[in-house]
Structure 1
Amino acid sequence: MNKFEQLGLNESLLKAIGDLGFENPSEVQEKAIPTLLEKDTDIVALAQTGTGKTAAFGFPLIQKINPENRNTQALILSPTRELCLQITNEIKLYSKYVKGLHTVAVYGGASITEQAREVKRGAQIIVATPGRMQDMINRGLVDISKIDFCILDEADEMLNMGFYDDIVSILSTSPDEKSTWLFSATMPQEVARIAKEFMRKPLEITVGTKNSGSSTVSHEFYLVNARDRYEALKRLADANPDIFSVVFCRTKRDTQAVAEKLIEDGYNAAALHGDLSQAQRDGVMKSFRNRQIQMLVATDVAARGIDVDNVTHVINYQLPDEIETYNHRSGRTGRAGKLGTSIVIITKSELRKISAIERIIKQKFEEKTIPSGIEICEIQLFHLANRIKDVEVDHEIDSYLPAIEEVMKDLTKEELIKKMVSVEFNRFINYYKKNRDLSAQSAGNDRRDSSSPRPGDNGATRYFINIGSRDNYDWMSLKDFLRDTLGLGRDDVFKVDVKEGFSFFNTAPEHAETVMDILNSFTLQGRRINVEISKNDGYDKNSGRRDHNGRGGGFSPRGGGDRSSDRNARSERRGSGESFGRSGSRDGGSRDGGSRAPRRSDGFGGGNASRSSSREKRPRRS
């Protein structure tokens, strides 16, 4: 039995829910839907982004609307054009079997006359951004004086964007006897003021702890020197071959510059910020939703309302000015019950902000160091091997096989495998083996006691295991699984790094036999687990020391060549006002002597940051 049937929804809604494939309501839906159906009440619902809030208010709203009355009965306010259109589309999907019910989106950047015409034809539900809605009210193009419901979605976001006066004015225009439903991720003072002034004894629903972060998101930070911020970003992308991410910068200028540099270095990236036209924004978001863009570099304002499934990572290239905004950033991943990772790249001077964020989100960060070059090479090698193993063969190649076999006839199986993998791997190893350690430990770190290494750090054994995030593990749950399965103590399994199809972990050498014996005879959901001892023991041969997380050098997988002299010449021609995305002269812009990394083995093609790059692009995924 579909659990939505137990919430009191009518047959037309249940039929639409069935078409959408929904089976189990989220926590906020379980709490909000029966309450809103049973009584006419004001409600404040606090839940993280991505927990299903649109359905939580959308289902009961549709059931309470009278489709035979063509007057506007409900107004939904949302912070951005993107979110406004998204809510409108979802309401239309939910109400597809409700004859006569019409929903209209009202937002800036489109014809106000056409939107007014759509409303006049009959729109029981209007979904609007506050600025455009206030404009239409002032012009007499819409009448909300008789609405029965007003929903404020992402209320904290709207107030953060400066819509307080518009919201107060709009609510003042609406009737006092309406029901007001306020949905928000956090409860800052401005949201509390709205609730107190315009709501009547609202019921409060809280999913998780008030203002806390989502339990499906793990939080990591990487301490680097300021000049290495951009290089650190590249290495983190390289260490996660299947990354599908939003990268946050504080300013429009930094956003554009970082995106341009990523493209120049062969990454599939694009910028999203307020200086783009609406057509450019729409094009970028369409490419991102279709996964043609791997790294979307965005400002906080531009990213508000982004709702894209399966974002694996949120990367805070720079922390926001308002620490509370971190909660909204991290909410872009770990949605709909899936696991996600929020990464912060910080310098020593910003370290105190981590503790402040931990207090707000009520979760702890794990401190990590930037992966070494040899570790990235190893990750990319195993990733390539898994891609080869899992690739679907197009049998149109069959007719070419005799000729190919003739070319390869003198190679043994082992030689063939080595040569095939080396096509991609050689570029990585040649680049990364010369690059330096990006760890900022020399800058000091008062969150870590380097004089007291973790048990087993010296001479630790590192393992490769063929399970990862696609098996619904993050580093915490995988560590618990390994510890419990192997019967080891709390600190005996450490340095757990989870990728999509595989992971790495460490134990002390004396546990190696136990690890190999138990795990290599273990099956997970019918699939045999494979564990191998990794050749990378975490020792940095260049510096002659072992760092805290067993990592040393660095690199970034894109195509080679030294362009530093060309960059310098261009900088001299353009003058000192050159943006750091072009000259590489500002914070985070260094490139290890101007060398460029080989193109990645993940097959992602080049993107754009509202301009084209003349550099050779990586081949697109086949």
Structure 2
Amino acid sequence: MNKFEALGLGEAIVKAVNEMGFETPSEVQEKAIPILLNEETDIVALAQTGTGKTAAFGFPLIEKVDSNSRITQGLILSPTRELCLQITNELKNYSKFIPGLHTVAIYGGASITDQAKQIKRGAQIIVATPGRMQDMINRKMVDITNIGYCVLDEADEMLNMGFYEDIKAILSNTPDDKNTWLFSATMPKEVSTIAKRFMSSPVEITVGHKNIGSKNVSHEYYMVNSRDRYAALKRLADANPDIFSVIFCRTKRDTQKVAENLIEDGYNAAALHGDLSQNQRDLVMKSFRNRQIQMLVATDVAARGIDVDDVTHVINYQLPDEIETYTHRSGRTGRAGKSGVSMVIVSKSEVRKIKAVERIIKKNFEKKEIPSGEEICQVQLFHLANDIAKSEINHEIDSYLPSINEVLEDFTKEELIKKFFSVEFSRFHNYYKNARDLNTAGDGGRDSGSSDGSTRYFINVGEKDGFDWMTLKDFLKGVLELGRDALTRVDVKESFSFFNTASEHQEKVLAVFEDFRMEGRKVNVEISKDSGRNRGRGRGRGRRDGNDGGYKGKRRSEGFTPKGKKRSNREDRGGQSGNGRRDRRKRSDRR
């Protein structure tokens, strides 16, 4: 018997599930579906983003509505247009083998009369944003007086966005004896209030623990001066050449500004916020899903519709005003069983917020340092080498080889390699060689992991060997027989990594790895060129020229080709919006 069939689902949904390739129910699905299928009850389900909540309430709702009746029987409220459309498309896929069952999306930014016509033709299930739903009720374009089921999806986010009054007004138009199913990633007091007011003895399901972040996500923070926030963002991107990320800003204004700066500097970036038309947002999301965009800069509200499993990094350009919102942000990565990284860029005055987030998500942050120019150059050089090694040979060039060989015959193999890499790398290296230190000293008593008195090492193992920063740290701890706290700044790339130890351990580290093999392969450890740099007195300290650079020209998979330092003061201008002060702009500017 199919595992979904064992939950009690009918043949039509099981057939759709099999066709979609689903094999094993998620934890929230295993817990919620049997209850919702077999009982007429209210329910509060707490589960992180990306755990399959839509199917957890969608499967039972499809089973319970009567497809032979044209009246609306189920209402799903969600916070954003993107999420509304996402849920609608998923429900249509789940019910594709159930004749006559129609799901209609109701949201702002599209014709209200067209949506009303779709409902009039018959919509057993309506998926709606609260604002548009209330508008249609006021215009008497929709009738929800006979629904049997109301789903509040992403309830915490809807309340954070100020939809409490809309939700209250909408629910006042529904029957008292309906079942209300509330699904949320976190359980702030506002969600508890709505559960008490509008639900009757709800069954509570918790996957993991309340407000706790995904176990597949590691959390890091980087402390810089406020004016260096944008420069730090670029360095983090450069240090992770295969980055596929969502960057969070607090306001639409900052979101647009950061995206524009990144695009101008040659990154594949775009903005996603409430001022974009629906068509613009759809185009941005299509480009992001196709990986034509590597860095999507978004507001918290707009990002609710992002359903992409392969996001490698979430970067908090600014911490959210509401601590619980961080859980939603970090939930954009580490999905579908994959690992992810959530990075936070903070100023010295914001470090206390990190501790507050740690209490909420029940996870510790690792303090890391913004990579130096030398370190970024190493990363990019080895990334280029790795890409070359993986490239397939194009035999169309075979006919040209004799002439090429004739031009290059006077050079040795080593000289050819140096020349080839110099063509792609020199401008990048020249650009970064005098890059200043962006890290800020002091963080309120935390172990800073500074390289003062420490040695930084390069090791030729990385993600392709099955490591992330946690497992590599455990591996090194076991091999070197040093305490876990003796290893700091562990940064894992695709085919190599970096780590630090106290300088007193340098001789031991090099001795252990002098002839070390892992599964027959030699593991090489070298002292990084950047190891001796004094971070408190880095080159260029005190200069205000902002020379961390902008990239002109197209970003390529082989690496970047920066063209000089034409954009002075870009760092200063780019970081002004995130100076640690509480943003008091209107809610409309946060969309």
Match of 1:121 in 2: 121
Counterpart Cα distance in 1 of 2:380 and 2:14: 45
Counterpart Cα distance in 2 of 1:403 and 1:485: 51
How do 1:74-93 residues align onto structure 2 when only pairs under 5 Å count? 74-93=74-93
1:531 aligns with 2:534: no
1:461 offset after TM fit, Å? 5.8
Match of 2:214 in 1: 214
Match of 2:255 in 1: 255
Counterpart Cα distance in 2 of 1:491 and 1:266: 38
1:393 aligns with 2:393: yes
Match of 1:522 in 2: 519
Alignment partner for residue 560 of structure 1, among 563, 574, 580? 563
Counterpart Cα distance in 1 of 2:123 and 2:518: 62
Unaligned runs of 5+ in 1: 547-552, 568-579, 591-622
CA contact (8 A) 1:75 1:151 kept: yes
1:562 offset after TM fit, Å? 4.1
Counterpart Cα distance in 1 of 2:537 and 2:63: 68
Match of 1:466 in 2: 461
Counterpart Cα distance in 1 of 2:54 and 2:414: 54
Distance 1:265 1:588, change over 3 A: farther
1:429 offset after TM fit, Å? 1.5
1:532 offset after TM fit, Å? 4.1
Aligned-residue identity in percent: 67
1:105 offset after TM fit, Å? 0.9
Distance 1:106 1:501, change over 3 A: farther
1:449 offset after TM fit, Å? 5.0
Higher mean displacement: 339-348 or 276-285: 276-285
1:505 offset after TM fit, Å? 2.8
SS of residue in 2 equivalent to 1:83: helix
The one-letter code of the counterpart of 1:426 is S
Match of 2:443 in 1: 445
Counterpart Cα distance in 2 of 1:143 and 1:118: 13
Alignment partner for residue 573 of structure 2, among 564, 568, 584? 584
The one-letter code of the counterpart of 1:499 is K
Distance 1:9 1:195, change over 3 A: same
Higher mean displacement: 196-205 or 21-30: 21-30
CA contact (8 A) 1:247 1:316 kept: yes
Counterpart Cα distance in 2 of 1:115 and 1:306: 23
1:192 offset after TM fit, Å? 1.4
1:3 offset after TM fit, Å? 3.3
SS of residue in 2 equivalent to 1:300: coil
TM-score for both structures, normalised by structure 2:
0.88
How do 1:97-108 residues align onto structure 2 when only pairs under 5 Å count? 97-108=97-108
The one-letter code of the counterpart of 2:563 is G
Counterpart Cα distance in 1 of 2:56 and 2:316: 30
Distance 1:30 1:405, change over 3 A: farther
The one-letter code of the counterpart of 1:155 is A
The one-letter code of the counterpart of 1:584 is R
The one-letter code of the counterpart of 1:396 is E
Distance 1:585 1:391, change over 3 A: closer
1:243 offset after TM fit, Å? 0.9
Unaligned runs of 5+ in 2: 540-546, 551-559, 580-591
Alignment partner for residue 502 of structure 1, among 496, 501, 513? 496
1:206 offset after TM fit, Å? 0.7
Counterpart Cα distance in 1 of 2:57 and 2:466: 29
Counterpart Cα distance in 1 of 2:339 and 2:384: 23
Match of 1:320 in 2: 320
Match of 1:154 in 2: 154
The one-letter code of the counterpart of 1:521 is M
The one-letter code of the counterpart of 1:479 is K
**Where in structure 1 do 4 or more consecutive aligned residues deviate above 6 Å?**
541-546, 553-556
Q: Deviations over 1:510-545 (max 9, x none)?
A: 133333544x2326xxxx575342543522279778
1:555 offset after TM fit, Å? 6.4
1:251 offset after TM fit, Å? 2.2
Distance 1:502 1:72, change over 3 A: farther
SS of residue in 2 equivalent to 1:49: coil
The one-letter code of the counterpart of 1:247 is I
Counterpart Cα distance in 2 of 1:256 and 1:124: 39
TM-score for both structures, normalised by structure 1:
0.84
Higher mean displacement: 143-152 or 280-289: 280-289
1:130 aligns with 2:127: no
1:479 aligns with 2:477: no
How do 1:118-197 residues align onto structure 2 when only pairs under 5 Å count? 118-197=118-197
1:487 offset after TM fit, Å? 5.6
Distance 1:586 1:483, change over 3 A: closer
Match of 2:417 in 1: 417
Q: Deviations over 1:345-391 (max 9, x none)?
A: 11111111111111111111110111011111111111111111112
Counterpart Cα distance in 2 of 1:125 and 1:345: 42
The one-letter code of the counterpart of 1:251 is T
CA contact (8 A) 2:229 2:575 kept: no
Q: Give RMSD over aligned pairs.
A: 2.7
Instruction: State the aligned residue count.
Output: 559
